A = this chain, B = another copy of it.
Amino acid sequence: MPRAGLTPQTVVREAAVLADEVGHDRLTLAALAARLGVALPSLYKHVRGVDALHQKLAVLATAEIATELTTAAAGRAGGDALRATATAFREYARRHPGRYPATQRAPDPDDPEHLAAAERAVGAIYAILRGYDLAGDAAVDATRMFRAAVHGFITLEAAGGFGLPRDIDRSFDEMVAALDTAYRNWRSR
Closest chain B CB from A74 CB (angstroms):
24
> In the complex this chain forms, how many copies of it are found?
2
Within 112-151 of A, Cβ neighbours of B (below 8 Å) are at 118, 122, 137-138, 140-142, 144-145, 147-151
Cα(A151)–Cα(B150), bound, Å: 10
Cα(A166)–Cα(B175), bound, Å: 25
Which B residues lie within 8 Å of A185 (CB)?
181, 185
Cα(A15)–Cα(B67), bound, Å: 41
Check A104 for interface membership: any CB of B closer than 8 A.
yes
Chain A, 166-186, contact with B by CB distance < 8 Å: what is the 0/1 string?
100011001101111111011
Q: Which of B106, B118, B149, B186 contacts A148 (CB 8 A)?
A: B149
